[in-house]
Every structure is written in structure tokens, then in C-alpha cells.
Structure 1
Amino acid sequence: MSVQPIIVKRKKTIASEGHHGGAWKVAYADFVTAMMAFFLLMWLLNATTEEQRAGLADYFDPSVPISAISGGGMDMMSGDSVYATESLAHDGHGGAGDDYELRGEITRSVLGALKDVIDENQVKVTLTPEGTVVDLIDADGAPLFALGGSAPSDLLRDVVAKVTPVLAESGRRVKFVGHTDDIPFRKGAAYSNWELSADRANAARRLALAAGFPIAAISEVSGRADRQPVNGDASAAENRRISIIMLNESVSSGSVNSSVTP
């Protein structure tokens, strides 16, 4: 009689790990948030101009104080302001103190002088680290210059005549900068948007001198063609403009005597 072998089965028990509390969810959420911020940053770098990026950087600068004359305008990112004395453009470095208040007064004076001369959509005043920028903007129905040329229109003559006393009384040195759209001249032409923008800035300078602006106060006259558009459509009329920059005391080599004649 055969003896049946005894088979012993040993069952291995694996202890499961305890619940980790969902910490991975927090880490994953942080990762997604970081990726969203990264792609938002990449989009902003591609979709904004240099001036707009400077304005965004200043917005998040904790050293920039908030005061009665800081704030944005109609445009979400450019920090521009039109004929609203209660809503002046944001100062790039805060500019606290007497100079800050003076720049606010200059801005109000510019807007007040031009209120009845040019449409509110054709003038913007922005406070930047460099100075107070007055943008005179072209429009299809109210051009500042002859089409494709640097001959000033009657509108520009009136605007410069009105704003020149404010520029002179500020005692600041001034830059005249021309900007164009990206519409090129005919193929093979020796004249380009670079020459056009510079000629238009020079035409504005001559109008200011004729209106009594001191020649010693002119710091620079330059043209930047279509390299600094303010509209996403590079061929838009808004990109055709003259920027008159009243330099801050920290940028300017000193104040000037506004009584000097050209």
C-alpha cells in the first residue's frame, strides 16, 4: 500500500503600501501651472512690442508705486491714455516725487492743448522710463502727411503749433522719432520706409522750430521705419506716427532755456 505524499502549500502574502494621500496630484497641478505660465510667456514675447514688454515688466515690479496718475488706458498692454486727465499713463519706474507730479502736469497740458485740434484716437501720451512720449498718429481720413511723402498736412501743422508751447515750457530736451507701416515702395526704388520715417521726423522738427521751439533743446531726430509697430497689423494706419519724446531729467543732459530762438 502506497503512502500519499503530503503537499504543503505556502501562500505568500504581500502587504500593500499605505495610501500616499494624493501628493502626486499637487505635483502634477504645479507642473501644469508652470507649463501654462511658460507658454503664456512665449506668446507674450512673440505678440508684443518692446515698449509693451517693458510695460508688462514694470506692472509686476513691486518698486513701482500706485498713485493717482498711474494706470492703463484703452489698450490693455500699452498703458496709453487719450484725452482723460483722470487716467494718465503708467510711469515705467514710478518716478515718485516732484518730477513725477511735473510729468503728470505736462501730460495734462499736452492733452488739453490738443483736445480741440485732433481726434482723440490720433494722440496718445505715455510715461516711460525715458520720458513723456506724445504719439501723433496717422489716420486714413485725417492724414498727418501726404501719402508716401514727408510733406506735412494742415492737421499736423496745427497740432505741432499747439503742442510746441507745452514742449518749450517743460524745459526738457526732446526727440522726434518717425514711424511708418510696412507697405514698401515700388521694387527697385532707392527711397524706402527708413528714409520716409526719418524725413517725416525731420519735418515735424522743422514745424516745431517754426512755432518757436528752442533749437538747443532738440536731442535727436530719427526714423525707425516699420520696426516698432503698435498694431498687430503691420500695414495699419496706426503704425504711421510721429513720436515726440520729452526726456526725463535723469536721461537728459540738463534742462534748457525755453526762451532760446531757433
Structure 2
Amino acid sequence: MGDKANAPVIIIKRKKVIAGGGHHGGAWKVAYADFVTAMMAFFLMMWLLNATTEQQRKGLADYFAPTITVSRVSGGGEGMFGGTNMMSDDALVQDGTGQSGGVPIDGDLVGTQESAAEVAALQEVEALLLGIGGESLVQQEALRHVVTRVTDEGLIIEVFARDDAPLFISESTEPAPVLIELTTMFARTFDLVTNPVAIEGHTRTRPLVIAERPVWDISTGRAETVRRLLEAGGLDSLRIARITGNADRDLARVEALSVRNNRIEIILLRIEN
């Protein structure tokens, strides 16, 4: 009995082993990976906003919108930047820009290979204009003033002023450098087709308190300035079909005083058969 009472007490200590690197495990690694992925997506989005034109951003938005199959204002074509194809009956009915059955010719709605080829040529010009911005950062910045669309009338190239970048100097008819650069690019690109060209000038509303509101003279004078710039860039003067000053009668924005209403529309007209 005495020997058992004096025997040493044996204590067994069990050590708990936790795999995965410390008491937090590996959950922090998953959280960190999600954070890095989110930041990468954020910076990619910011880069796209800075590196694309308004037209391209609209096309990207339409591309990723599951409920929008055709853009109402983007250019024609079936590429990444989407748009309305004039030769698609569904698109024409949906947009309200025409009817099914082709393009009116001599009073009849007849779809022809010639009209399809003409639309394809106009869309080629549009695609080339949208792709020019990749040549330099300067041209990319200039194309932020441009949106295009193919309609029954033809390819409409809308050049608009921005809050920090007007097209004309001091509300006059003197062109700003960005407009000179754009018209030079347009004249070079228009050599792809032989369509006649129409030029329309638009201005924002002037306050009613001003004694003289020269919106008609300014819009017409700006359209004339663009005609001279296009011809200086190499456009044949015989292709100019008309020059129109619309003043503030056809606003692009509901806010009549918005700078966005200061714009020029250059139209490659459909060739009448």
C-alpha cells in the first residue's frame, strides 16, 4: 500500500493541431482574393470610362443589358457596339424608324440588293469612324464629341459640344481645334463612298432677356463653316447636297440652355434610285 501511495502521478497532455495556418484558418485568403478581384474590376471600369467615346459606352451598356437587344441610338452593325440594322424588319418596327419590306423606291416598298449594299457601305464608314480613336489619344479625345446612327435618311454623324470642350470659339462660328480635327478625319473617311452630304447646324436656346437672339444666323454660319472645313479636308464640293440652320428648334436635350444642344449633324445621304 505504501508503495502505491508514493507512486508518481502520470498526466497525459493532448495537443490539438489546427491545420490551415493559425487560429484564423484560410478564410482571410478567400476574402483577400475577392477584394483584389473587385478592385481589378473597378479599375477596369474606370479605364473603360476614360478610354471610350460616348458612342462606344452606349454600345457596351446595350451589350450587357439582358433586356435590351437593339440600341436606339448606337450605330448600325452587328459588332460589339451593337446598333440598329436598317435592313432588319424587327429592328425597324421596334425602333419606329420604318416599316418591314425594305426601303421605299418609286413609292413601293421593295428591298433590293443595291440598297443593302449601300447600307453596308454606310456601316463600314461608321465602323471606321468609331475605330479611328485607337490611332492616338488626341483622336480618341476628339471622338468623344461624336455619336453616329444609321437611319432611313442615311448615316448621321452628330458632333456635339461638351461642357469643357466647345466646338466653336465664344459662341461664334469660328471653329475650335477639335472640330477642325474631326472634319479632317470625316473628309478622309467619306472617300469610301460617293453619297451626297448634308450639313445641319443646331444651337442651344439663348435667354429671352437678350435683345438679339441670333440663333438662326449662328446655326447656319456654323453649318457653312463645317462645309468649308470638309472641302478643305478633301471632300468634293459637288457632293454637298444642302446646308441647313435649325437654330434651337430641334433640341437634343430637354434643357434648352444645355451645351449639348450645340451640335452639328453631318449626314451621308442615301442615294435615291
Tell me which amino acid in the other structure corresponds to 1:192. Answer: P
Q: Write the mapping of 1:196-207 to structure 2, written as runs, cut at 5 A.
A: 196-207=218-229
Shift, 1:161, TM fit: 0.7
Aligned residue in 2 for 1:229 = 251
Q: Note if 1:71 corresponds to 2:70.
A: yes
More helix per residue: 2
Aligned residue in 2 for 1:218 = 240
**TM-score normalised to the size of structure 2?**
0.58
Aligned residue in 2 for 1:104 = 123
What is the aligned-residue identity percentage? 23
**1:63-83 CA distances to partner (integer Å, 9 max, x unpaired)?**
xxxxxxx931xxxxx52349x
Structure 1, unaligned stretches of length 5 or more? 1-69, 73-77, 254-262
Q: Note if 1:122 corresponds to 2:122.
A: no
Relative distance call for 1:102 and 1:79 in structure 2 (3 A) is same
Q: Note if 1:87 corresponds to 2:109.
A: no
**1:196-251 CA distances to partner (integer Å, 9 max, x unpaired)?**
0010111011001111100000001111011111112111111110100000123x
| Range that drifts further, 106-115 or 201-210 | 106-115
Tell me which amino acid in the other structure corresponds to 2:125. Answer: I
Structure 2, unaligned stretches of length 5 or more? 1-68, 87-96, 104-110
Whole-angstrom distance in 1 between the partners of 2:143 and 2:234: 25
SS in 2 for 1:132: strand
CA contact (8 A) 1:176 1:222 kept: yes
Relative distance call for 1:176 and 1:185 in structure 2 (3 A) is farther
Relative distance call for 1:185 and 1:112 in structure 2 (3 A) is farther
Shift, 1:119, TM fit: 4.8
Relative distance call for 1:225 and 1:80 in structure 2 (3 A) is farther
CA contact (8 A) 1:88 1:107 kept: no
Shift, 1:109, TM fit: 1.4
Q: Note if 1:140 corresponds to 2:163.
A: yes
Whole-angstrom distance in 2 between the partners of 1:185 and 1:221: 27
| Range that drifts further, 133-142 or 93-102 | 93-102
User: Which residue, out of 205, 209, 233, partners 2:231?
Assistant: 209
Relative distance call for 1:151 and 1:201 in structure 2 (3 A) is same
Aligned residue in 2 for 1:18 = none
CA contact (8 A) 1:177 1:242 kept: yes
Whole-angstrom distance in 2 between the partners of 1:89 and 1:175: 22
**1:19-60 CA distances to partner (integer Å, 9 max, x unpaired)?**
xxxxxxxxxxxxxxxxxxxxxxxxxxxxxxxxxxxxxxxxxx
Relative distance call for 1:152 and 1:186 in structure 2 (3 A) is farther
Whole-angstrom distance in 1 between the partners of 2:133 and 2:146: 8
User: Which residue, out of 193, 196, 201, partners 1:178?
Assistant: 201
Give aligned pairs, total. 175
After superposition, the CA RMSD in angstroms is 2.5
